Chains A and B, each alone.
Chain A
Amino acid sequence: MPPRIALEAITKRYGSFVANDAVSLAVAPGEIHAVLGENGAGKSTLMKIICGTIRADAGQILWEGRRTSILNPGAARELGIGMVYQHFSLFETLTVVDNIALAHAGPFDRAALAARISGMGERYGLPVDPLRLVHHLSVGERQRVEILRCLLQNPKLLILDEPTSVLTPQAVGRLFGVLRVLAAEGCSILFISHKLEEIRELCHSATILRGGKVVGAVTPAEVSAADLARLMVGAAIAPVTRSAVATGGVRLALRGLSLPPTDAFGTALHDLQLQVRAGEVVGIAGVSGNGQAELLDALSGERTAAPGTVMLDATPIAHLDAGARRRRGLAFIPAERLGRGAVPAMSLRENTLLTAYRQDLVKRGFTRNAAIAAFARGIIDRFRVGCSGTEAMAASLSGGNLQKFVVGRECSLAPVVLMVSQPTWGVDVAAAGFLRQNLIDLSRRGAAVLILSDELEELLEVCDRIAVLFRGRLSAAMPRETLRIEQLGMLMAGLEAGAA
């Protein structure tokens, strides 16, 4: 029996950069096949080729044994290929029914479709109310809509791109149950991930990509996570060292911080209490959509709050804007590096000036370009930023290198308090390790560091204490040594069984 889908020597180039280099893999009917690789290895490009969003420059795709050209997303859909996107492709202002109707050819009958959605949701354990507007749904519920949208097409191949990054550990288990049922019914599944333990738990087989090439095809259950990691990265990864904590005074304090949401899509914050001391790293865990963006805006100063609710070294700062807070020694690294942490079309030298302007780089209103360039050069050297120089455009750097630059810039400001959101999102493993070590080292030099992340493994590796943010409420910050993943998972799910 021929494989459901087989890729033969698929190659895709962008200018001189080879995203996929003669990639071959095959998936049998009913097989759950992992595609493993770190950020930048070429997984997304490969999936876009299978889905018809882009076309390969060379190579063949065989569908059920026959050579096929997948010219556009519609053609992929007709073959029976469905994709659940990492950053969902849903329309927030439309209802669930309308979202699914858009992907569903056939007569435009909302009522009948709603009934089918409910039925299918029951059958696969993915309950969702068809008439709700998508922007009212939680992240987990939105993923269910994405999956149901695919299932209603009776797919023969289902692709899931990093599906577990938005789920609590309990929800991950439920998702795996659904996938096993689908595979048993004959559906082939491509599971894109960089989470080694999950791949070992769920997948029958795995293809490992590195630098655009296939470097291994294994049966995950037969190899260790360390083996997979080594194949993924190509070298042994140095673990992060976390020296003993010697904390000083409280640098950043939240005292009963409450904020209404800015729009109908947002989350309200309720009575947050937190203390971050000099010399320690505190982490806030939580699936995105539980108030992280609102909390960060309140901390960075892009939104002001009630007086006395945010304190810096016992000085109230809740009423101050971002510029004023920076003057007092606050530094902040946002999750979106391109467009927020750095201006894509500007050079690294200019991007240095974005937040480092108080480092004696502006005189009487004029910019001191030579001094700025020297400062930028310092960041590039200390943080090993791979680039063509201080005049390189921010958009031309890889994710890892740009993140190193942004983190390096903020650390170079010698801040009193540093707040980071998703420090290693989209960053390759080597750079991620380097960045995490630098954050720890910064705290040990006396700064108070606060990290928000949805990657539990990262927080457990780096932080001294961890709190959980759920629906705008913050748990107490518990010492790392006393914590286990299951406990964090339950807090992230709000201690409710069956919650999203």
Chain B
Amino acid sequence: MNQLIIPLLDGTLVAATPLIFAAIGELIVERSGVLNLGVEGMMLVGAAAAFGMALHGQSPAAAICVAMIAAALMASLFALLALGLAVNQYAAGLALTISGSGLASLIGRHFGARSGTTIARVHLQGLSDLPVVGKVLFGQDPLVYLALALAVMAWWFLNRTRPGLVLRAVGEAPEAARAIGYRVLRIRYLAILTGGAMAGLAGAYLSLAYTPLWVDDMTAGRGWIAQALVVFATWKPARVVLGAWLFGGVTVAQLFAQTFGLQIPPQFMSALPYLATIVVLVAISRNPQTLRLNTPLSLAQPFRPDH
């Protein structure tokens, strides 16, 4: 049984990490009142950019930076449309995903089957050698810890700081926020950039640590799952982490099936995360009151300030 628990817990944490990055980023964006359906596209671009850098022998840190910048640039394009021209946010986000997917394939066309530098796991003296918990809790790669730290920071930012309060106000009533002097579009732009960078970080993690090989469409819908996570978590960072762990667990559940010799077709196991996403969405949406009380009131509505 021990042989199973460690890989399961370990795998869950690792699988949850890109989801946490992407979902926390999108949570910030949606709290400001903007819905960006382009997370999947930005993650793919981040993955491609990071992998490209790694193939050229750059350090993981440099690769991650480039990935975050590339994704943030794409997010800027979305911001230009959604904020500057106040177009339909659903369509703009979808356009971003389709473009990002094409762009990532283009960048990745020469990658082949090679591997670049990857991210090494941490080894803490004494702690990492503990049985069971050693590897799981203290032997992860640094980005796993970063993801959890970012979730905590997001919580603290939203609930304990003035800028976080302003962000929440902008998401609830942008007209009122403008009336008391806040630059709504600028705040939303910063949120969108942050979300983009986080999506890039998530993509970079996928291509550098999770699967250090380039596969076309390597996010396999994780950007969408991250989007669903934000709803499931009712826009609260702590619940995003819980949800990500849940999904991470479902993703690595394939281990179980093989070990127990269950004759389940691999496609069914692969479908589990998507089906689970639908189930959690239904669970959280069932009570209209819960959703309405927690949804940022101005979500996805274009804002055109008076002049």
Contact = CB atoms under 8 A, between A and B. Distances in A.
The answer to whether any beta carbons of A and B sit under 8 Å apart in the complex is yes
Interface of A: 48, 51, 53-55, 72-74, 76-77, 83, 85, 88-94, 98, 101-103, 108, 149, 263-264
A286 to B, nearest CB: 25
Contacts of A264: 289, 293
25 contacts: A53-B179, A53-B306, A72-B183, A73-B179, A73-B181, A74-B181, A77-B181, A88-B176, A89-B173, A89-B179, A90-B173, A90-B176, A91-B176, A92-B297, A94-B165, A94-B169, A101-B165, A102-B166, A102-B169, A102-B177, A103-B181, A108-B165, A149-B180, A263-B293, A264-B289
A9 B169 CA distance: 36
B12 to A, nearest CB: 33
Given A93-B172, A263-B293, 16 more contacts: A53-B179, A54-B306, A72-B181, A74-B181, A76-B181, A85-B179, A90-B176, A91-B168, A91-B177, A93-B297, A94-B168, A94-B169, A101-B165, A102-B182, A108-B165, A264-B293
Contacts of B178: 53, 73
A89 B180 contact: yes
Nearest to A135: B293
B286 interface: no
B293 A101 contact: no
Tell me the dominant secondary structure on chain B's binding face.
helix
Contacts of B161: 108
Contact of B165 (A72, A73, A98): A98
B307 interface: yes
Contacts of B177: 91, 102
B217 interface: no
A101 B306 CA distance: 24
A77 B180 contact: yes
B181 A91 contact: no
B235 to A, nearest CB: 11
Contacts of A73: 178-181
Nearest to A90: B176
Interface string B152-187: 000000000110011011001101111111110000
B292 interface: yes
Contact of A92 (B162, B172, B179, B183): B172
Given A92-B172, A263-B293, A51 B179 contact: yes
3 shortest interchain CB distances as A-B pairs: A89-B176, A74-B181, A73-B181
Contacts of B306: 48, 53-54
B307 A89 contact: no
A426 B66 CA distance: 54
